[in-house]
Every structure is written in C-alpha cells, then in structure tokens.
Chains A and B, each alone.
Chain A
Amino acid sequence: MDQDLVRDISSLDLTERVTINQPADLQSCVNLKKTTAARICVGKAGTRLKTETYLRFRADHAVAMDAVWSEVDEKVVDQLGFLKVQSLCKNKDEYITRPDLGRRFSNETLKLISENCRHDADVQIIAGDGLSSPAITSNLPDIYPMLMDGLKEKGYTTGDPIFVKFARVATMDRISEALHAKITIILIGERPGLATGESLSAYMAYESSTKKPESQRTVVSNIHKNGMPPVEAGAQIISIVDAMMEAKTSGIDLKL
C-alpha cells in the first residue's frame, strides 16, 4: 500500500543527510552535519533552496502555525478531571494580540475557581494552552498522572487541577491568590519552533503572586518526546517541589 505514497519528507532523518551536488568531501559534510541541527549541507538550485529542503521547511512551519492556531481537544482535559476555565480573551486572535487580557480572569471565573477547587493545598497544578495546543494534547496525558502519583508518594496534598483556555503564564498568580496553594505549577504550550510544535514548559512558583516579579518563577522547558521526555520532566518538577518546600521560595532566590 505504501507504494502509492509520495515519499514522506517529514520522516526523513536529516542528521546525516547531505544533498549537495558533488561536494569536495562528502564524508566531511556528513561529519559537519552531525554537529548541528542547523539546516546545513543542503545544496542549492542557483541561489535558491532545493525542492526537498524548501518543502521540508514549509512543512515544519505549517505544523508550527497550526500548533498556535488550533485549540486543545477538551476530551483530553475532561478525562484527566480538569476544571475548565477561560482567561478574559474571547478568541485566539485576541489571545495573540492582547497578553494583558490573557493574564486575567473575570470575577465570575475567579468565583467559580474559588468555589469548586480545594484551598490551601501543598501543590496546585494548572494546564494552559499558551502558544501551542498540541503541547497539551500530546504531553498532558503522560506528565499529569505521573506528577500526581509522585506528589502523593511524597505526602504532598494536591489541589483540583484547572485547565485555562487562552492562558498566559501569569494566570498562575491569579489562581494562587484565589486558592492559596503553597506551590503553583502551570504546564503551558511554548511558542513553537520549526523543530517541534509540541514543546511544553512548566512554570513553578512558591506562593505565586501578582505582586512578585517574573523572577519568582522557576521553569522547566523543552518538554516533549524528542526533547526532555514528559516522565523525566515530571521527576525533575517533583524534585524542584521538594527544594521549594524546603527553601520556602522559588525563582532566582532558589538555588538548585
């Protein structure tokens, strides 16, 4: 059946791929290629890219664009038992252009959070779409149960998980001020690069607050299957929780 397929350019392994016509030293090119993920040894058609290089670039950009503009499949967060809320943004376009609105909630939403979620837990987990919905869809089902198990094993109490649509990182400060967890963690989609559209970051803060500077946050980034795998990231997050509980601080004040 696969013989009906035009070659899948997205699955080409580029780590050793050299597409220069008659290089002076092919083996040297292969060796250079192995040292960087940069798109080198691609050759040229006149002054322009070859067709394969051009289409692969466009394919990578297409996936990145789609990651920004798509929405999280709500079934994923429903199945994990997240309470779903939304920032003040009404749609994706407003989310992209108004970071100020993406950091805040309406009073009704804050009331809903306060009335439906556990207060004063040790750790509160939030998930937010941020700039990549696939980051949540592909990583949350792996990282969230692992985090919950790990935290429980260490004897920490955990809050009710919350999913924020059109979320900026600073929504964690508002939720922290409503629920007073000791540590608040938001798992949020990163701005996609060409290498992956599925990268997730975890921002963590001790007594997270709108009154503190951004430097209150400790971050674990590049969480995705070809970066830091979710299981490994989960273990790292839990060890940072331990360190924050011990030091009663986070961000630049926390020496890891």
Chain B
Amino acid sequence: MKLKTRLFGKTYEFRSVREVLAKANEEKSGDTLAGIAAADAAERIAAKVVLADLSVSDLRNHPVVDYETDEVTRVIQDGVDEEAYKKIKSITLGELREFILASPAAAIEEIRDGLTAEVIAGVTKLMSNLDIIVASKKLIVPATCNTTIGLPGTLASRLQPNHPTDSFEGVMASVFEGISYANGDALIGLNPAIDTVEQTDKILRAFRDFMDKWKIPTQNCVLSHVTTQMEALKKGSPMDLMFQSIAGSQISNTAFGISTALMDEAYELMKEKKSSKGPNFMYFETGQGSELSSEGHHDADQLVMEARCYGFAKRYHPYCVNTVVGFIGPEYLYDGAQVIRAGLEDHFMGKLTGIPMGCDVCYTNHMKASQNDLENLGVLLASAGVNYVMGIPAGDDIMLMYQSSSYHDAAAFRETSGKRPMREFEKRMEELGIMEDGQLTERAGDPSIFTQEVK
C-alpha cells in the first residue's frame, strides 16, 4: 500500500488511509474545523492521486473507525456480500471510478453489496459533480411501503407541514396546501415541536384520517424520537413509516440516543405493528458534519462519516433516507458551492450503497447560500434521478427556521426534468382535478379544495 506521491517536484506523504481520505475530500469547512483538511489545493490533489491508486481491499481493511470499538463499522463490515466483494477487491479506486462511469446499471448492481462506506466515499472523492450525476442516474433504487418510490420517471416529495406549536389546524392547513400542489406522494411527515407520545399519536391519526377521507395513496410519519414512536406504536398509533436521525459512528449514534440494539428492536416492533404494507417501512435522516458536532468523527472527514450512515441505514431496508444537506450550518458546509457538492455526493453515495435516497435541499440564514443555490441543487438532483425532495409552504419552514424546497419547487423540478409523481398518487391528483397530463392544473394550488365535500 503506497501512501506517498510526488506532484510538480514536491513529495507528499500520508500516514494513514484515513488521512488520505480526509485530505482527498473536496473542500468543506467542517474538515477545516476538525483540523484534518488538506493544507492547500495541491495537497488535496496529491491525496486524490494516492487514493486513486489504493485498492478496494486497502479501503475495506482500513475502516476509519476500528471494528472492535465501533458498532457502525461492525454493521457495515458484517453486511458485506463476500462474493460481490471478491469480484472487485483487487481493483484500484481509480479503476472503480471508471467501471462505475462506463458500466450499465446491472453490472454496478452486481458489485454494489461488496462495497464498504470507505470505498464508496473514496470513489466519490475522485468524481466531479457531473461524474456523480451521470453515475447516480444509472442507479435505480425503488422501495415499497404503501406505495412504491424511486421508479424511473418519477420524482416524489415529502410534504413537511411543520408548525411552531404543532397546532392541529395549522399543520392540516399546510397539508391541504401541499396536496393541492401534488406534493406528499413520498410521505406526509411532521417534525413535531413537542416530542411526546400523545402528540405523535394525535398527528399520525390526523394524517391517517385525511389520507382515508380523501383516498390519498401515501405514507404517514411523525418524526419524533424513535423511542417516542415505539411507545406510540405499542399504544396502537397508525404508523406507516418509522423515523430516526442516524450518524456514522457509535459515539454519534449514542448522542442521538440510539444504538444498533435499539434500532433492531424498533424495526422488529414496526414489522409487527405497522399500519403500512411494506416491506420497506423505515425512514432515516442524515447530514454531513453531524459526527463532528457530537465529537464522534474519529478524525475522519465528513464525507466518509456520511457514507457510514448509509451503510448503517441499509441494515434496516429503509423506504427512504435523506440527507438534510444544508441544515447544519456554515462551520460544516460554508457556502452554496459546498452545499451543492455535498447534496450531489450524498445522493450518489446513498444510491451506490443501495438505499432509496432523497435530499432535503436546504440552507440556513447564516450560510453564504441563497435561494438560487437551493434551486440549482434541486435541478441537478432531479437530473441525477433523486427519489424525492421536500415540499414546504413557499420554502419557509416556520418551525425549524430554515429554507427548503417549496411545494412550487417540487412541481418545477418535475416540470423541468419531465418527471411525474408516483403513479397511484398522480392518478388520484387527476381525479381531484389537481393534475392533468403530468402538469398542475389551473385549479391546483388551492387548499380550499380540501375544505369542501369529498369527491
């Protein structure tokens, strides 16, 4: 294993695979904050050169966190399909990059389960934004809960009707508005302001009643802590999807109040008591930088830690996973360029891991990012074949105090990429007069459709 190279007369030597991975990462303010980023642009490229020459087995044999001390590493390593791994273990990451870009989807799928998070993050560091889009587009990863997400030609949205006090009427008003823009086919999911069993149950029932009354084919979810949802489930709440935020190391999962054992228990409970069909019924959220913020990054860069989240998520056959890419703040992703890069990377890494991936295309007001950056990333991801994006009233989340894609944006991403909602949902939108020939009608965008008698 060679960890040294020369570039324009200067020699660069790295001490470990972890250091090569960190320094090869595209520029992220979080890696600088962690003190592990390349010192300058040339060192970053030297690290990429060294990385491109490492083999898949070099990366597998040097996970950034030790197998013995970290259960996320164990989940990923134990989950490797050894037959698939054998096929590619000797090739370099440079060769893997070319294989992914040149091969049809079926050939990539044959080796996908042989890749660890370090390999997936590593090859991503060798790819440009357009490389990533080209590769992502080939990776079709559908999943089925009540309905099927991620089929070619579709782009779904999660309706996110948040309200600062969880007012039942206020939440439902945003649901009416969202459905009237043909948003919410991925799921209707609330981030509750109040994390209690009663609140979780109340909102789940409200969504279920609305879906039943108006025959809306989708999934309901309340994004309280998994332990809260487990209690609600035990008390008989109608729950189609179970949610949890996850991280790429055991320390950071502990900070989220979860472990593999807890998630295994949650999964089994859901399998038994869920109100949806399945077989996929878990929903996870991630985002680059969360491991550093909870001091569980083990001096590894935020891209590789993010890839490890996906490896962990895969254990639970999720219906959907999304990276909340621009939420964490400028100390991790500084500006529009870094957020766009991260959004493309995360979507690709998730799909290469084999999980159905969406993206919360978003930004906060203390980042050097704008509405234009958000829209750019959304269009790029639609082009890359993202399974779903968020839908929020005019893009302003009044509870979480950040901006994400609007109901209008989700419709426009479909319009510009020629995508449609999930089929059964679109059919119902047509019956309600909200869509016609894949387009929103004049009547669309009117929440008072849902204050009338049911049609």
Q: List B contacts of A194 (CB < 8 A).
A: 365, 396, 398, 401, 403
Task: Check if B445 is an interface residue, CB within 8 A of chain A.
Answer: yes
Shortest C-beta distance, A178 to chain B (Å), equals 26
The complex places the Cα of A92 from the Cα of B272 at a distance, in Å, of 52
The reply on A225 being an interface residue by CB < 8 A is no
**Interchain CB contact under 8 A, B408 and A191:** no
Within the assembled complex, what's the spacing in Å between the Cα atoms of A194 and B331? 20
Q: Are B33 and A97 in contact (CB under 8 A)?
A: yes
Chain A residues within 8 Å of B172, by CB: 35
Check A242 for interface membership: any CB of B closer than 8 A. Answer: no
A49 touches B394 (CB 8 A): yes
Chain B: which residue is nearest A25 at the CB level?
Answer: B448
**Minimal beta-carbon separation of A27 from chain B (angstroms):** 8
Question: Which of A29-47 touch B at CB < 8 Å?
Answer: 29, 31-33, 35-44, 46-47
Q: What's the minimum C-beta distance from A168 to chain B, rounded to whole angstroms? A: 11
Q: Is A146's CB within 8 Å of the partner chain B?
A: no
Which chain B residues have a beta carbon within 8 Å of chain A's beta carbons? 29, 32-33, 161-164, 167, 169-174, 176-177, 181, 330-331, 334, 364-366, 370-371, 392-396, 398, 401-403, 406, 408, 411-412, 415, 440, 442-449, 451-452
Alpha-carbon gap, A121 to B445, bound state (A): 59
A41–B447 touching, CB < 8 Å: yes
Contact status of A36 and B33, CB under 8 A, knowing A44-B408, A44-B444, A191-B364: no
**Provided the pairs A35-B170, A192-B365 are in contact, do residues A57 and B371 lie with their beta carbons within 8 angstroms?**
yes
Q: Does A35 contact B173, Cβ atoms closer than 8 Å?
A: yes
- State which residues 81-126 of A face B: CB under 8 Å: 96-100
Interface band, chain A: 35 or more
Pair A24/B393 contact, Cβ less than 8 Å:
no
CB distance from A65 to the nearest CB of B (A): 6
Q: Please determine whether B415 and A68 come into contact, CB atoms closer than 8 angstroms.
A: no
DSSP majority for the A interface? loop
In whole angstroms, how far apart are the Cα atoms of A37 and B163 in the complex? 8
In the bound complex, do residue B32 and residue A38 qualify as a contact, i.e. CB atoms below 8 Å apart? no
**Chain B: which residue is nearest A39 at the CB level?**
B394
What is the count of residue pairs linking A and B with beta-carbon distances less than 8 angstroms?
Answer: 138
CB A182 to nearest CB in B, in angstroms, measures: 30
Q: Are A47 and B393 in contact (CB under 8 A)?
A: no
Tell me whether B173 and A32 are in contact (CB under 8 A): yes
The 8 closest A-B pairs by CB, nearest first: A39-B394, A36-B170, A193-B401, A64-B365, A28-B451, A35-B169, A25-B448, A32-B173
- Do the beta carbons of B398 and A37 come within 8 Å of each other? yes
Once the chains are docked, how many angstroms separate the CA of A216 from the CA of B393?
36
B62 CB to nearest chain A CB (Å): 28
Q: Which of B162, B171, B401, B446 is A23 in contact with, Cβ under 8 Å? A: B446
Nearest-CB residue, chain B, relative to A193? B401
A28-B451, A96-B331 known; A49-B371 Cβ under 8 A: no
Given known pairs A44-B408, A44-B440, A47-B408, the reply for A38 and B449 (CB within 8 Å) is: no
Residue on A nearest B171 in the bound complex, by CB: A36
A211 at the binding interface (Cβ < 8 Å): no
Other A-B contacts than A28-B452, A42-B393, A58-B371, 14 sampled, CB-CB below 8 A, are A28-B451, A39-B393, A39-B395, A47-B411, A47-B415, A47-B440, A68-B365, A96-B366, A97-B29, A97-B331, A97-B334, A193-B398, A194-B398, A194-B401
Contacts of A99 in B (CB 8 A): 33, 331
Structural contact, A97 and B393, CB atoms closer than 8 A: no
With most chain B CB atoms within 10 A of its CB, the pick from A25, A40, A65, A193 is A40
